[in-house]
Amino acid sequence: MGERKVLNKYYPYDFDPSKLPRRRRPTNGQIKVRTMLPMTLRCATCGEYFGRGTKFTARKEDAAGERYLGAIQVYRFYIRCSRCGAEIAFRTDPASSGYAVESGATACREGDGGEAVAGKRGREEEGDAMAALEDRARAGKQEMDALCSCAVQAEAMAVTCRHT
């Protein structure tokens, strides 16, 4: 039975690593990578939904001539729909710190039923979110003040009980 954790490997005396065949670089510049979807997608061909975090074997390539601020490389990924086999392409979008779907699918935003959020509606919800956050902060401060006053009273009672 072999060793479970291999610490040493046997190399024959006539082994020459320079004679090993080299890996060929892909001619089209695409490499296969195992990736997870960064967002929920809906296939444009068959309507299949792919949840965020679904693993796919994708082809990755450098987007030719596309750089963000002249320094950050933009990458393009190609996956296939698991139901109909249609090709879906998306790329990195450094400007928004995310990804942008190029073809074959539509990105589904969370909480909007699969449709893009309207700008005005988004601003209104953001204002409500800020108001809710401020209310929660105010309530938390009041709760902390109440706890502190209760703790001070309990400590005073404990001191009084010790002296009697």
32 lies in the same domain as 72 = yes
Judgement on whether residues 104 and 128 belong to the same structural domain of the protein: no
pLDDT digits (tens, 9 = 90+) for 22-75: 887 777 778 899 999 988 999 999 888 998 889 999 999 988 888 888 888 899
Please indicate, yes or no, whether the overall pTM of this predicted structure exceeds 0.75: no
104 Cβ neighbours under 8 A, 6+ residues apart: 43, 44, 45, 81, 86, 87, 88, 89
Residue 7 in any domain: the answer is no
What dihedral do alpha carbons 12, 16, 17, 18 form, nearest 10°?
Answer: -170
Residues 103, 133, single domain; the answer is no
Could you tell me if residue 99 is inside a domain?
yes
* 4 located within any domain: no
